[in-house]
Amino acid sequence: MTDSGPAIVVTDLRKVYGLKAAVDGLNLTVPRGSFFGFLGPNGAGKSTTIRMLTGLIPPTSGSIELLGMRMPGDELEIKRRIGLVPDESMLFDRLTGLEFLEFVGRMYSLERGMARHRAEELLEVFELSGEKRKLISEYSKGMRKRLAMAASLIHNPELFLMDEPFEGVDAVGARLMKDMLLDLVRRGATIFLTSHVLEVVERLCDHVAIINQGRIVAEGRMEDIRAGSETLEDVFVRTVGADREYGKLEWLTEARHGI
């Protein structure tokens, strides 16, 4: 394993379900220390890609290297060094926030005392201290996302894989999370995230890749991707969906009586 190479290297990655390729020959390199945005329309293959990177699902073909180590051969060591915020909840509803964080800390081989201490601190930072003894089942969607992010940090990983981390989070919580992520990148961590909120990606990320129908259609540094005065949204729509036609729903657009 090397500490100077790219954080993520994906070579010719494919995932086929029946006759459909959800990911179709993906090639991707994520530099270490970068804030990497992975964008795509619905059903493009973003979540499938992240699930393959984390080892949740095996690829049909292709190779994955994280932090210089191959998946699945060095799976256990890789998992020790990455933090994950999945799209779907990885939380145990019948534990309190504090219990869950302490539990996750111990999953990453932290001693009980240290896990508890870090859990308390993380809850403080993510403004969940007031809810630390409430069961997670009583948390709102935004609180659950913040807790999931706190859990991804407890073992101080080098690489973060985040699938829609800001979904359902209010502006205050999102600001908190963004500031934290920027700080992590400044200290040398690598962040790989997917998001539908292009303004956030544009503000935070220094590298971006756009996936459509299982393939990368654009990739590079943020300033290189945006040509001239184009926004990221302009680039995104142009590369994936500008010429999409939609049917005219006459029954929906008809003027109502009296209006």
Query: Toward other proteins, which CB reaches closer, 92 or 170?
Result: 92
Is 88 a residue that touches other proteins (CB under 8 A)?
A: yes
Interface segment toward other proteins; rule CB under 8 A; list 32-40, 107-115, 177-185, 245-253: 107-115
Strands (E), 52-189: 61-66, 69-71, 82-85, 159-163
Q: Does 237 bind other proteins (CB under 8 A)?
A: no
Interacting residue with other proteins among 21, 90, 218, 237 (CB under 8 A): 90
Indicate the DSSP class of residue 135. Answer: B
Per DSSP, the three-state class of 240 is helix
- Is residue 106 within the footprint of other proteins (CB under 8 A)? yes
What is each CA distance from 157 to 63, 117, 161, 162, 174, in whole angstroms? Answer: 22, 17, 10, 13, 21
Q: Tokens standing for 164?
A: 């829609």
- In the block, tokens 């800001």 appear at 166
* Choice from 29, 89, 213, 239 touching other proteins (CB under 8 A): 89
Q: Site for other proteins (CB under 8 A): which residue of 20, 94, 175, 186?
A: 94
CB of 22 to other proteins, least distance (A): 12
Q: How far apart are the first and last CA of the chain?
A: 68
Residue closer to other proteins (CB basis): 44 or 115: 115
Q: Are strands 190-194 and 35-39 parallel, antiparallel or unpaired?
A: parallel
Size of the site for other proteins (CB under 8 A): 31
User: Is 93 near other proteins (CB under 8 A)?
Assistant: yes
Which residues share a beta bridge with 160? 83, 191
Question: Would you give the binding string for other proteins spanning residues 20-59, x where CB under 8 A is met?
Answer: ----------------------------------xxxxx-
Shortest distance in whole angstroms from residue 220 CB to other proteins = 29
Q: Is 180 in the site for other proteins (CB under 8 A)?
A: no
CB of 26 to other proteins, least distance (A): 18
- Residues 6 or more apart whose CB falls under 8 angstroms from that of 192 comprise 7, 8, 30, 36, 38, 50, 53, 159, 160, 161, 162
Examine residue 95 and tell whether it contacts other proteins (CB under 8 A): yes
Q: What's the rounded Cα separation, in Å, for the pair 191 and 199?
A: 17
Should residue 76 be labelled a site residue for other proteins when binding is judged by CB under 8 A?
yes
Within residues 109-138, the interface with other proteins by CB under 8 A covers: 109, 112, 133-135, 138
Six-digit token string for 242: 């500008």
| Under rule CB under 8 A, residue 203 binds other proteins | no
Q: 37: which strand partners?
A: 193, 208
Three-class DSSP category at 79: helix
User: Where along the sequence are the contacts to other proteins (CB under 8 A)?
Assistant: 54-58, 76-77, 79-80, 84, 86, 88-95, 99, 103-104, 106-109, 112, 133-135, 138
